[in-house]
């Protein structure tokens, strides 16, 4: 392993301190920045031109941050005022690309962390997309379709002026599914008088959307995991797999893992987790979560003797070969990582954004566990969004098998890029370092080429 010069370490420490000072009260953003900066020392040593160009300072500062008022009226006539956000972080490689999240927890720090992660994730795909993220503290749960429509129309009335297929292309995220994308697109079309299909991704397949987009993040994470095991001389078939969450990403993680021959035993939600010794019955789980919007406890009660519901606790207590966190940020703690290692876990791969705490990542990496960071492992979602943009640009629609094959090619390339970059910088098997450096170099090289802007 090459040593990192003391000057590079000191420089990175000073940079991080300055970023924290300039962005107070944003712990998730601080965490995301730290996770990247702690791996970039070798790049600063081998490529001093990047330090001279203040490349890290430039990448860590968003190109544009938008905050706006979103007034709307509910079905009873009561007026509500929410706050909307869009952080357009980096456009060196292409138009800003990243999802919109509607959830009460959304604030500027959350959006910035997500957008910062998106820079490196999108660069790793090699598909010519920049990075942005947005959303609102609006909660669509419990709201009627007409209330959600009014909110989305108000949100898009302000945001539309910053969007365009060559400028900024949002997609869905937590709380923003096909319904919300439809309302947002309709309002954009009404205001602009343009059928600009490429301005939003995650659309319905009947009006410009791509097959496999709902499945893509979960599918991609499983494909990445399979590649990590492959270079270690193993395969996913026959492995015991634990999945956290039971939303869109988790459901399609289960689906693809089962398709590749894995035995998936767990899912979870905010109330607890389920262990199913026979393996998760995916049709039943989809019926409960997608059609009935029920809880995993409902799954356990209807599945029979093979399944048991554990209220509270951590799904990572369950012994497993492969762990796929697919719920939310910072869900897998140091104690969880220690339990997984003690139980012999071979691979952990992030389906959610930053679901593993820094302390947990250190424990897993030091134990030699294959660890797939989210910016690489869950790049399948944004990759398929970029494939949707490609179809829109050509006024074309690809078959589901073609999209799946394109996705598989992208995920293999993402894995190989991270793996080979880690080896090139003396950290073989370290996907965190490999993904961070590979994404950083792609963006930095484009920024150098385009001048000081």
Residues making up the binding site for NAD(+): 217, 248
2 secondary structure, DSSP code: P
Q: Is 308 within 8 Å of 275 (Cβ atoms)?
A: yes
439: phi > 0 → left, psi -120 to 50 → alpha, else beta; which?
A: alpha
Active-site hit among 112, 133, 203, 289: 133
Q: What is the DSSP string of 17-72?
A: HHHHHHSTT-HHHHHHHHHHHTT-HHHHHH-HHHHHTTHHHHHTS-SEEEEEEEEE
Q: How many residues does the chain have?
A: 453
Question: Is 133 marked active-site?
Answer: yes
Distance (Å) of CA 167 to CA 40, 91, 115, 161, 409: 29, 8, 15, 10, 26
Q: What are phi and psi of 328, to 5 degrees?
A: -155, 175
List of E strands, 206-287: 240-243, 263-269, 272-276
Q: Is 187 within 8 Å of 160 (Cβ atoms)?
A: yes
Instruction: Report which of 239, 192, 200, 244 is spatially closest to residue 356, judged by C-alpha positions.
Output: 244
Q: What is the DSSP string of 303-369?
A: H-TTEEEEESS-GGGS--SEEE--S-TT-B-HHHHHHHHHTT--EEE-SSSS-B-HHHHHHHHHTT-
Distance (Å) of CA 64 to CA 52, 59, 89, 374: 23, 12, 6, 24
Q: Is 180 within 8 Å of 194 (Cβ atoms)?
A: no
Q: Please enumerate, by residue number, every residue annotated as part of a binding site for substrate.
A: 97, 118, 121, 172, 385
Which residues are known catalytic residues?
133
């Amino acid at each position: 392993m090459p040593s990192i010069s003391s000057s590079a370490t000191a420089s990175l420490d000073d940079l991080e301190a300055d970023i924290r000072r300039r962005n107070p009260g944003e712990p998730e953003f601080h965490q995301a920045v730290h996770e990247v900066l702690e791996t970039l020392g070798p790049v600063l040593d081998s490529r001093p031109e990047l330090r001279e160009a203040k490349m890290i300072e430039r990448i860590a500062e968003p190109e544009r941050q938008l905050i706006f008022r979103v007034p709307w009226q509910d079905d009873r006539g009561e007026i509500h005022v929410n706050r909307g956000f869009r952080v357009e972080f980096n456009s060196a490689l292409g138009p800003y690309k990243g999802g919109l999240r509607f959830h009460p927890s959304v604030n500027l720090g959350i959006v910035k962390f997500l957008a910062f992660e998106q820079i490196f994730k999108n660069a790793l795909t090699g598909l010519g997309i920049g990075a942005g993220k947005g959303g609102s503290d609006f909660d669509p749960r419990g709201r009627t379709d007409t209330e959600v429509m009014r909110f989305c129309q108000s949100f898009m009335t302000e945001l539309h002026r910053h969007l365009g297929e060559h400028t900024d292309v949002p997609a869905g995220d937590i709380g923003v599914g096909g319904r919300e994308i439809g309302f947002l697109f309709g309002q954009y079309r009404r205001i602009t008088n343009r059928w600009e299909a490429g301005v939003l991704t995650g659309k319905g397949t009947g009006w410009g959307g791509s097959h496999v987009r709902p499945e893509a993040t979960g599918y991609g994470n499983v494909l990445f995991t399979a590649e990590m095991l492959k270079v270690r001389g193993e395969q996913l078939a026959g492995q015991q797999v634990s999945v956290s969450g039971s939303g869109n990403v988790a459901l399609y993680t289960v689906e693809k893992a089962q398709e590749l021959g894995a035995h998936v035993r767990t899912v979870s939600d905010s109330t607890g987790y389920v262990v199913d010794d026979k393996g998760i019955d995916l049709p039943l789980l989809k019926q409960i979560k997608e059609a009935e919007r029920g809880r995993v406890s409902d799954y356990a009660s209807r599945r029979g003797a093979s399944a048991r519901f554990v209220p509270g606790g951590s799904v990572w207590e369950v012994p497993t070969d492969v762990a796929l966190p697919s719920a939310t940020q910072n869900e897998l703690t140091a104690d969880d990582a220690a339990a997984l290692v003690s139980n012999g876990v071979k691979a952990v791969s992030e389906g959610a954004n930053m679901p593993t705490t820094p302390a947990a990542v250190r424990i897993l990496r030091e134990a030699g566990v294959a660890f797939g960071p989210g910016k690489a492992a869950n790049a399948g979602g944004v990759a398929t969004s970029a494939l949707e943009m490609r179809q829109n640009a050509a006024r074309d629609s690809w078959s589901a098998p073609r999209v799946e094959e394109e996705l598989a090619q992208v995920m293999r390339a993402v894995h190989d890029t991270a793996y080979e970059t880690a080896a090139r910088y003396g950290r073989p098997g370290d996907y965190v370092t490999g993904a961070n450096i590979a994404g950083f170099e792609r963006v930095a090289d484009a920024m150098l080429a385009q001048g000081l802007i």
